[in-house]
Amino acid sequence: MDREIIEEFVAESLELVDKCFICVEDFKIAGDFKKFETIGPFLDRIMGAAATLEFDSLAELLKLGKMICYNVAQKDIPDKSEEIVGGVFELLEYLKEFFKLIFEEKSTAMALNEQSLKAKLNSIKMSFEDFRQCIIIE
């Protein structure tokens, strides 16, 4: 794969991740779950590029994050806010690390973190009682 294409992907993705962090901080200040609606399209853009570049496991994590963000924006669930914000924040931290190390071989620790994060995001996703009733464009 062309290194220049990947470098562009990384640069754009990091800009989007930074915007996501700002949205999470805005949520922490305002407590408005609608802030997560802004994160969904950013994750979707990174996910599309990741899938195109065949970073399949990354695209899968981003898909989970996107689904969570869109769902939480549709429902006001304050009892789950700490878990949701923690999961999204952890995803964003993982993305920063992933992009920092993209040209290096994936370490065992990074692979374990990915599996742990995937399990956490799946758990959050399943905590939406009527998750399957939500309309999510994948």
Looking at residue 27, what is its pLDDT? Answer: 87
Continuous H helices in 53-100: 56-74, 81-100
Instruction: Express each pLDDT in 15-44 by its tens digit.
Output: 999 999 999 998 888 888 888 899 999 999
The lowest-confidence range among 6-15, 21-30, 39-48, 127-136 is 127-136
Q: Mind listing the domains of the chain with CATH numbers?
A: 3-132 (1.20.120)
The pLDDT of residue 104 is: 80
Q: How confident is the model at residue 6 (pLDDT cuts 50, 70, 90)?
A: very high
Write down the residue that tokens 């200040």 correspond to. Answer: 29
pLDDT in tens, 114-126: 888 999 998 888 8
Query: For the chain, what is the mean pLDDT?
Result: 85
What does DSSP assign to residue 118? H
Is the separation of the CB atoms in 128 and 71 below 8 Å? yes
Q: Six-digit token pair at 92?
A: 């964003």
Strands (E), the chain: none
Q: Is the pTM of this model over 0.75?
A: yes
